[in-house]
Amino acid sequence: MEIYLDNGATSHKKPESVIRAVIEFIKEVSCNPGRSAYPLAIRASRLLMDAREKISAFFGSDNPMRLVFTRNATEAINLFLRGFLQDGDKVLTTSLEHNAVLRTLSALSEERKISFEKVWADGKGVLDIERFEEALKKEKYSLVVANHISNVVGTILPLEEVMTLCADKGIPLLVDAVQSAGTVFVKLPSEGDVALAFTSHKSLLGIQGAGGLIFNNDSLAKRIRPLITGGTGSLSSKETQPDFLPDKLESGTLPMPAIVSLAAGIDFITSTGLGKIENHKRRLTRLLFNGLASIGRVTVYGPGNERQISVVSFSVKGIGASEVGDKLASRGVYCRVGLHCAPSAHRTIGTFPDGTVRFSLGYFNTEEEVQIAVDEVRKIAAGR
């Protein structure tokens, strides 16, 4: 029996409807949208618009033109940060961020002399609104960047409170919704300036190859400079980039199979019920956390309450994370080990530089699988 507990990296299994949608596009369409007027191209264009509308509605937007497709969430984050920040800007972020944020901010600190500071979560990876409030009293920032759910400990940011705080202070907010989209409700607010970055292949249940950046208003979107420029299928007589969305920020051939899969994944989530999916993941998270916490020599990270979902990291005393991962893999339990591209998060919870073993849950995991995984960890901790 194979048990896949690496959904924080990419979701597995995919719904049959997602698989069918990808196969149908490749077999029956497989051409570019927005470039030609023959029937297949028109069909591709309709599929693209259908995806824009579904994804936009899923995130609470009534304007599908504010959605910009990218190849992945890392590109979406780079698009925003490199397109928005200017020389001398100051950024407030968190100690739980992925390197998609921190490496980009570090690069921009050299390229454009921007500066950034971190709001530090506590030792369990919990970050409360009071820490943001205190940080924003001390300094004037051009931007706040925060992930909604940590990819290391699964802790949930009080996102609505952060959105309200940033709106009240007139500070734009970029949200890394990579782990949260498709797990908990994520909605763009009507107030303030907010952008969300997401990816197709995690809890939105699509395949690898697409991500996106979605804005809650036109004024914020218009402030973003393109990351790449080129063909858009619009205003082709001009050698300058179009200035309207999404074309301004969306050049080149789009990853249509992945975009189609993303739309199908959202259809699955909507028909299943996001609340049902969230409740299932919460139940499995508690079962997993409590089961691991009951094992001698095992340390489990995170609060182990309603502020944690889908991701549970742990270590076994006296056995390195890589060795634990290898032993689990040999027994059919698949997970990720190490620093999970988030070294700052590991510094926060005290697991740097060794990292942890990370189990990350998906909708298709079962209680039986969780119990088997816990039992295998118990055996490894006991030296069996």
**Residue range 32-69, pLDDT digits in tens:** 998 899 999 999 999 999 999 999 999 999 999 999 99
Under a CB-based contact definition with an 8 Å cutoff, are residues 69 and 259 in contact? yes
pLDDT band at 384; cut points 50, 70, 90:
confident
**Averaged pLDDT of the chain:** 97
Give me the amino acid identity at 291. G
- pLDDT of 42 reads 94
CA 79, 307, 160, 48 dihedral sign is: positive
Is residue 351 pLDDT above 90, yes or no?
Answer: yes
Is residue 383 pLDDT above 90, yes or no?
Answer: no
Mean pLDDT for 76-96 is 98
Is residue 177 pLDDT above 90, yes or no?
Answer: yes
Cα first-last separation, the chain: 19
Helix crossing, 73-84 with 99-111: angle to 10°?
Answer: 30
Under a CB-based contact definition with an 8 Å cutoff, are residues 30 and 253 in contact? no
Buried b (16+ CB within 10 A) or exposed e, 105-143: beebeeeeebebebbebeebbbbeeebbeebbeeeebbb
Mean pLDDT for 367-383 is 97
**Residue range 321-338, pLDDT digits in tens:** 999 999 999 999 999 999
**Residue range 141-170, pLDDT digits in tens:** 999 999 999 999 999 999 999 999 999 999
- pLDDT of 34 reads 87
Task: Say how far apart CA 176 and CA 42 lie, in whole Å.
Answer: 33
Task: Say how far apart CA 348 and CA 344 lie, in whole Å.
Answer: 6
pLDDT band at 17; cut points 50, 70, 90:
very high
- pLDDT of 226 reads 97
Task: Say how far apart CA 195 and CA 133 lie, in whole Å.
Answer: 20
Q: Give the burial class of 317: count Cβ atoms within 10 A of its Cβ; 0-12 exposed, 13-18 middle, 19 or more buried.
A: exposed
**Residue range 66-85, pLDDT digits in tens:** 999 999 999 999 999 999 99
- pLDDT of 222 reads 95
Give me the amino acid identity at 326. D
Task: Say how far apart CA 159 and CA 198 lie, in whole Å.
Answer: 15
- pLDDT of 33 reads 93
Task: Say how far apart CA 127 and CA 144 lie, in whole Å.
Answer: 14
What is the set of domains in the chain, with CATH numbers? Answer: 3-12+273-381 (3.90.1150.10), 16-271 (3.40.640.10)
- pLDDT of 74 reads 99
**Residue range 196-240, pLDDT digits in tens:** 999 999 999 999 999 999 999 999 999 999 999 999 989 899 999
Residue 335's region, left for phi above 0, alpha for psi from -120 to 50, else beta, is: beta
CA 309, 264, 217, 83 dihedral sign is: positive
**Residue range 255-275, pLDDT digits in tens:** 999 999 999 999 999 999 999
Mean pLDDT for 2-12 is 98
- pLDDT of 1 reads 87
Q: Give the burial class of 13: count Cβ atoms within 10 A of its Cβ; 0-12 exposed, 13-18 middle, 19 or more buried.
A: middle
Nearest 10 degrees: Cα torsion 120, 108, 85, 154: -30
